[in-house]
Amino acid sequence: MRRVFTQARPLTALAAALLLAGLAPRPGAARVLSLDLQAVEAPAFGGMAFGASGQYERITGVAHGEIDPADPANAGIQDLALAPRAPDGKIAYATPFVILMPIAADRGNHVLLYDVVNRGRPLAPGIYNRGGSASEIGDGFLERQGFSLVWSGWQGDLPPKNPFAFPAPIAHAPDGGTITGPVRKDFALFTPKPSLNLGATDLGHGIAYPAADLSAPGAVLTERVHQADPPHLVPREDWALADCAQTPFPGTPSPTHLCRRGGFDTNHIYEFTYTARDPRVLGLGFAATRDLVAFLRNETADANGIVNPLAGRVRITIAHGTSQSGRFLRSFLDLGFNAAPGGGRVFDGMVVHIAAVRLALNQRFAQPSAAAMQHEEHLAPTQDFPFTWQTSRDPLSRVRAGILDSCQKTRTCPEIFQELSSIEYWNSRAALDTTDGAGHDLPLPANVHLYHFAGTQHVLGLNAGPCQYAQNPNSYLEAMRALLLRLTARLETGVAPPASRFPRVADNSLIEPAEAARIFPHIPGVAGNALVNDLPVMARGPGFDPVRESGILAEPPVAKSPARYDVRVPAVDGDGNETDGVRSLALQVPIGTYTGWNRRKAGFAEGDLCYLVGSFFPFARTRAERAASGDPRPSLEERYGDHAGYVAAVNAASARLSANGFLTPEDAARLRAEAEASDVLR
């Protein structure tokens, strides 16, 4: 294995060849000024070769760029005009990046797959490569297909030790003074803690906004068990801005920690509102992503002659975002950042995975790791209208808008594959992405294809400690692999993708939560669920623009009226399994009931939705066993007869999924082999 550190010289021969071929740099077309190529590992993965793609190399570096706050393309970035500037009036930034690409320029599929990091973590290798992770190659699916993968920093509140930390500048008042403002923090804990870091959220950790004053004048701490409960005020003498991890209350004074007498338990929601200082210009992360990908796609070399490693290799660009990073992509489009500097699109295609809403990034004192769920961080500013891709009319606010409004004006909209788990319907109001909020379906735009992975939870293997029931093991990863190839083919040849599959009001596959609970079978020891994440239109202050999910927040927000959206969920059959969407092999040949909801258990606000975890309730093995327990669902024996019958059902289902474009041949063969080797009805 060869490693070359902090050198650009190995690329100068390529630079000369490209320049001789007439592919000279286009100054000003992209705003990346220079590349600092810090490490090249060639070959990567111990020299492993990946079929026709051959060996891969990994390039690690930092892209240095600048933003012109006077450019209309950057005008919507919150507080950009208040960031420190160079003498020429520009705002400099630096973002770390990693490129993983075939060593041979003539190999691979010439598709740049930009994996938006989630809280600083690459996710595509762990999703598309079976057995893979950010550090493990797994089965090398992405590499065997020939993708060139790119990651870069965009989240400006990540701790510096994170390899994808993006050091966003701090905004200052026009006179250079400190900016202060309200910050509201919600905490719902998995384990008790003596004190809380003000940079933490329920799903991730960032750099805290420090309190402007340790005495915290006007700050308020409340607690309640359930989200719907009235908050109880914690007396001022029972909390302090302090760290109590090592020192008992009142602890060691700290502007970035909150300590409570007696500590914080797992049964309460804690809400702390305080005056903070030094907001970061986090919206700059959108522009940095736009400019880096546009540079890698279009430019030959930087201003210093350092060659773009992907120069001449990219025909198509696809962005992948999961959960938080999928919400990044929705906001990226909403705010107009898919228009490349110099013209054209940044991304030709997008996989927007398990993301039904937008991101809290382009806001003063933004908390981009927060997610508004039924129990956790319920009022986080991510769930404001618009929800739909196309322009629609909000039945409550009467505003007309859509996520694609900006890219339609510049003709830069990508081909979009939106993928939803069942959790998004129950805990993220995904039905509003395809309805008008008043119980009526809306058509999807021609460039949007929506796939609901029926009967799935947010991601596999979550911490189910706070939840009552076993988590849902139904996998959508096989369908994701197949759909990525179908999106690539769509962009390369124009071939039609699989038809959208998601529940609709018109055919009664998208129904009221109470109706879903009524239909759900009476499984012994299991209560049906009618609880969903619901929210009225919130007033977040005169400085906030909900249509762009941007601006200056007033805290806490207040409901404009008691009116609620019509939030619906997928219909279920007599087994409790969902009837519409992309129904995986596990759902077509079930061994139990797979839900998109779970409930919190005693000691964890019992009864509220359990964040991003679904449930699994296995079928009885025999008719006698189910009769003895009172389970109304047919047993495995009644469904399949014996092991051979189960395997035959799996083979038939895998053939259907393959024919419909939701299963690759290699995954179909593996699933059939796993069914044969399983102990189902052995």
Q: Tell me, what's the pLDDT at 9?
A: 35
Given 254, 277, 300, which residue is the final one in a domain? 277
Q: Tell me, what's the pLDDT at 22?
A: 39
Low-confidence ranges of the chain (pLDDT < 50): 1-29
Given 413, 428, 452, which residue is the final one in a domain? 413
Please answer whether residues 566 and 436 qualify as being in contact, where contact means their C-beta atoms are separated by less than 8 angstroms.
Answer: no
Please answer whether residues 588 and 528 qualify as being in contact, where contact means their C-beta atoms are separated by less than 8 angstroms.
Answer: no
Q: Which residues of 597-634 are buried (b: 16+ CB within 10 A; e: fewer)?
A: bbbbbeebbebbbbbbbbbbbebbeeeeebeeeebebe
Taking only the tens place, the pLDDT of each residue in 558-615 is 999 999 999 999 999 999 999 999 999 999 999 999 999 999 999 999 999 999 999 9
Residue 122 lies in a domain: yes
Q: Tell me, what's the pLDDT at 203?
A: 79
157 and 210 both lie in a single domain? no
33 and 125 both lie in a single domain? yes
310 and 268 both lie in a single domain? no
Residue 261 lies in a domain: yes
Range of the domain at 204: 180-277
What is the C-alpha separation between 602 and 465, in angstroms, rounded? 11
302 and 163 both lie in a single domain? yes
270 and 399 both lie in a single domain? no
Residues 6 or more apart whose Cβ sits within 8 Å of residue 398: none
Amino acid identity at 577? N
Residues 6 or more apart whose Cβ sits within 8 Å of residue 664: 478, 481, 482, 485, 658
Residue 588 lies in a domain: no
Residue 260 lies in a domain: yes
362 and 219 both lie in a single domain? no
Residue 506 lies in a domain: no
80 and 156 both lie in a single domain? yes
What is the C-alpha separation between 216 and 276, in angstroms, rounded? 9
Q: Tell me, what's the pLDDT at 31?
A: 85
Long-range pairs of 246-252 with CB within 8 A, sequence gap ≥ 24: 248/194, 249/194, 251/194, 251/195
Domain count, the chain: 2
Q: Tell me, what's the pLDDT at 535?
A: 86
Q: Cis omega (within 30 of 0) on the bond before 250? A: yes
Q: What is the DSSP letter of 444?
A: P
